[in-house]
Structure 1
């Protein structure tokens, strides 16, 4: 009988895969010896494999290059990285090695941009697309960046006051974009996005607030939907509505020359994941080209804002199964030595699924289990995989430690989890490892942050020693 864990995985998926292989019955990820990582640093741990970031940036650039050539498209393409996905300096440094641009969401983002400029990693030619609802500090920081000569900083207007607020603070001519408030998918609790200005109000807004303001030059129309870029009727319908607005606006606004289609490329969340990125990009570029041709206006330069797609597949987390609890006839709980709530908050907050695999013991028999975290919260668990309503792992034995890995966790988890701050039930944030590759393909590891200590929590909580 095929009862080993390797049999289960091989029968369920095409395995091995591009990033996952086995060596001596243990899992590797992009040729990273995961058990070697555990032996060197212990578990729990998180890691970031930096080369994957550049790889995904350049994959997207290649796909858009193909689509532009295929459609004889006359506009240019610009890749922007959404800093909110991961603000870490090592992430931005890796991203910016690939001639890309930046999308920001709040006031402190601008200070990160200024730090990067001081190190020569960002220049005045780098597009800084400023999204988000802008209050005083954000307006102040954007204005400072533009006043100091960053001519490619483009604040995206999100509400009716922002043009006037920016005009009061900026002492020179500046560029802006306008964000469309797209209609949400029917299953949403609300009908229209809270972000941006409604389709029907874009042109009236331009005529009232922009056309007579000689300080402002409208360059970009911004389109984004919450569910991301997916091949369904909802996405194509919203894109067509956006393109109609672009054509109508372009006819009365000669300076408009760019369309930002936002982001939302999915990332691999299962070994069974399938998504035809090239097809989607071909179709998007084709629809933009066809609609502009029909409307008799020049095609726009295309901007994208990829966050999760850029950094998500670079991250992973490894835990040790500490103990197994048999709670009833059917439910076995494998208790990990950390917490899902604190280290992978999306698993409980929005029921997100990541690629989850055993790291070792692939030659052992498997069993059905539930995974539980260390906190006393009943929501601190992980109970199913993307492809099936269950989890199967090698059988637990107290004398043979079992390690499990969650992969493609590099977007949002640290910021949502409050990296370096208080954690639920004071479960410490695990150590974080950076993994890089030199020009010869040799891997190197670096400890970025140690696991949190009690002193870190006590200081935050105000328990300072006298």
Structure 2
């Protein structure tokens, strides 16, 4: 009878997988990183960033677009942009920019990061800086400063009618802009149309009224993004088709328009059963854009993407120790971790996001169904949305045999949403964070980016010291 945890995984999923393997000691390896060795060296709770995965994902996407454009004889260029709000850390940006990519910003401080990267030589005048988001004084002024300094490839994306006047006020240079389409959301949403951008039906009139005769502005880009991401369903293809109609109508009256930004939205692996055909989706998008433009007899646009989670999500992980098991009734076994889900994986409780969750050790032991609880006194500090149909199975808890677990592909948004380095719920400390890279010989190298928060850190923030 197969009652071991490794048997459960082998029976349920195709395992091992490219990034997950088990060694002879029945311990988990992630991208050839021995996770139990990490625990022994750095302790738990522990956050880590595996930088090579960032470059790997960027190069994969570039190769898929290149292949599809060649296949369809698509005579325009592809530009990969990184959506900085997914993770603003310098080590993340440095790794991503090693791959000749571009940047998408969403707030004023993003421009300060851009200037810092320019000073370090990571960004050049050829790097596209696409400025999204709702823009007011500070953001507008910093965008203008970047353009005034000579950065010709800075393209603010117009979010509302007023922004044209704000961006051109007091500026001497002619600026290139894009317009964001306010997409219609899926029926399950509480609102019908995205708050971001300008409605499909209003864009052509907006161009004629505020841009066409405006000597300070060139329209270069149309921006299209679906909140639920790039999915192979009728809703996505219908929205893309509406976007292409707007692009074609604009292109016929606006010769400077030459680029289509299809935003982000590539999903990342959230379970061992994850299945998404990236190559097919890219090929189908390129095919539909080419077909629509050929039928309308307009030139195909340059393609921009703004991949955030796809770029950095699969580079991150969080490791914990199971401290204790509480048996609350005849059925519920609560495995208590030595940290908090609310503070370290905020998406897991705020939007019920799933991550790949696996034990790091004891794969040869029998398993049981459990719930996972965090250290805060908040009833929402738990995790039960894992790959086994909302049930979590882990090796049986034994006090004398410590159990360690890991959450993987956590590299996007968790630090910024969780308030990295600041106050945490119930003052649960932020874990130690390490960066994992490869040297020129291909060997793994480990660097402590930030130590675990201390009581002194909290007391300073709170005004006690």
Task: Using structure 2 for the length normalisation, give the TM-score.
Answer: 0.99
CA RMSD of aligned residues (A): 0.6
The answer on whether the counterparts of 2:352 and 2:385 sit within 8 Å (CA) in structure 1 is: no
Aligned-partner SS, 1:14: coil
Q: Residue 111 in 1 paired to residue 120 in 2?
A: no
- Deviating runs (4+, > 2 A) in structure 1? none
Are the structure 2 counterparts of residues 20 and 185 from structure 1 closer, same or farther at C-alpha, using a change threshold of 3 Å? same
Could you tell me how far apart the structure 2 residues matched to 1:248 and 1:386 are? Answer: 45
Could you tell me how far apart the structure 2 residues matched to 1:373 and 1:152 are? Answer: 46
- Tell me the residue number matched to 2:436: 435
Q: Residue 421 in 1 paired to residue 401 in 2?
A: no
- Tell me the residue number matched to 1:8: 8
The answer on whether the counterparts of 2:127 and 2:153 sit within 8 Å (CA) in structure 1 is: yes
Could you tell me how far apart the structure 1 residues matched to 2:242 and 2:440 are? Answer: 46
Q: Aligned residue pairs: how many?
A: 464
Deviation, 1:170, is: 2.3
Q: Residue 335 in 1 paired to residue 329 in 2?
A: no
Deviation, 1:215, is: 1.2
Could you tell me how far apart the structure 1 residues matched to 2:387 and 2:236 are? Answer: 23
Return 221-230 or 164-173, whichever deviates more: 164-173
- 1:260-292 Cα offsets, whole Å, 9 max, x none, are 000100000000000000100000000000000
Task: Using structure 1 for the length normalisation, give the TM-score.
Answer: 0.99
Could you tell me how far apart the structure 2 residues matched to 1:64 and 1:380 are? Answer: 41
Aligned-partner SS, 2:445: strand
Structure 1 residues not aligned, in runs of 5+? none
- 1:201-229 Cα offsets, whole Å, 9 max, x none, are 00110011101111111000000010000
Alignment of 1:88-237 (within 5 A): 88-237=89-238
- Tell me the residue number matched to 1:38: 39
Deviation, 1:22, is: 0.7
Could you tell me how far apart the structure 1 residues matched to 2:385 and 2:64 are? Answer: 33
- Tell me the residue number matched to 1:83: 84
Deviation, 1:385, is: 1.3
- Tell me the residue number matched to 2:17: 17
- 1:84-143 Cα offsets, whole Å, 9 max, x none, are 000000000000000000000000000000000000000111000000000100000100
Aligned-partner SS, 1:370: strand
Could you tell me how far apart the structure 2 residues matched to 1:119 and 1:126 are? Answer: 14
Q: Residue 242 in 1 paired to residue 243 in 2?
A: yes
Alignment of 1:48-87 (within 5 A): 48-87=49-88
Structure 2 residues not aligned, in runs of 5+? none
The answer on whether the counterparts of 1:144 and 1:170 sit within 8 Å (CA) in structure 2 is: no
The answer on whether the counterparts of 1:319 and 1:338 sit within 8 Å (CA) in structure 2 is: yes
